[in-house]
Amino acid sequence: MKLATFDAGEGPRIGIVTDGGVVDLALVSPRLPATMIALIAAWDEVKDDVAAAAGVAAHHALDKVRLLAPVPRPGKAMAIGLNYADHIAESGQETPKSQLWFAKVPTCINAPYADIEIPRTSNFVDYEAEMVAIVGKGGRNIAKEDAPAAVFGYCCGNDATARDWQFRSPQWTLGKSFDTHGPIGPWIVTADEVGDPHALEIRGLVNGEVRQHSNTRHLVFSVFDQIAELSQAMTLEPGDVIFTGTPGGVGIAMKPPVALKPGDVVRVEIEKLGHIEAKMAAV
């Protein structure tokens, strides 16, 4: 099932993306939760009603709505660094013995087709194509074998990064958290529909040129390793967002390094999950 947050002119709504368009859950049943986080939190109680709604005629054509970030303001947005072997190699670093985590603050989360800002305070904005996991039940101290049940679904993401800000501090949060630098979407594909999240082709393109191409089987630490690790430190909650790592091919590693410039179009494609795309805009 594909679940989206969208705006058809009346503000944010949640719905199901079908072959026919978008089914507005509020029009199917006003008793269903009105936000994605609330829907995920209540999933066990409402999933049968939502599944039934998937058979309803679409209320909107997909190209007539504006897709928003499926979780517009998650409680937490965490991201793992150096998690593909080729990205580690191009970074000139050793494979981490333990997981390398940083935060992307929730205000950086952006819609799947909205512009990404090149702020006047940064000289080098970069792209990072990533699969994003959306937490479902969550919890604390989740064992790896129990981690699949803690994931609600998956989507595409771009861990956009102001490299000059990233490397001005040993902590990466500022360089990873500029406004608009966390586009996700275009919708959440539920975990049952994705199947194995570690068998998906992933590509990052700039102006149609393939810069990144890998498969999620090459993750150093699997999604379930990540869930188990994070949940030892913090309670994972419904709707939390986890950027699971980027493959090689980022702009900073090119020779010479190539920053994104105004007008560039960055696209992230992941098998089964769809694609997101953004134009770079100077602000």
Class of domain 77-282 as given by CATH: alpha beta
Query: Per residue of the chain (283 residues), what is the pLDDT tens digit?
Result: 999 999 999 999 999 999 989 999 999 998 999 999 999 999 999 999 999 999 999 999 999 999 999 999 999 999 999 999 889 888 888 889 999 999 999 999 999 999 999 999 999 999 999 999 999 999 999 999 999 999 999 999 999 999 999 999 989 999 999 999 999 999 999 999 999 999 999 999 999 999 999 999 999 999 999 999 999 999 999 999 999 999 999 999 999 999 999 999 999 999 999 999 999 999 9
Q: What type of residue is 213?
A: H
Rounded to the nearest 10 degrees, how much is the dihedral formed by the CA atoms of 70, 73, 78, 83? 30
Record the pTM.
0.97
Encoded tokens for 63? 């190209």
Provide the residue ranges of all domains of the chain, joining segments of one domain with +: 2-68, 77-282
Residue with tokens 């005629």: 57
Encoded tokens for 53? 């709604």
In angstroms, the CA 115 to CA 112 distance is: 9
Pairing type for strands 116-118 and 201-206 reads unpaired
At residue 149, φ and ψ (nearest 5 deg) are -75, -15
List, in order, residues 6 or more apart from 258 with CB less than 8 Å away: 251
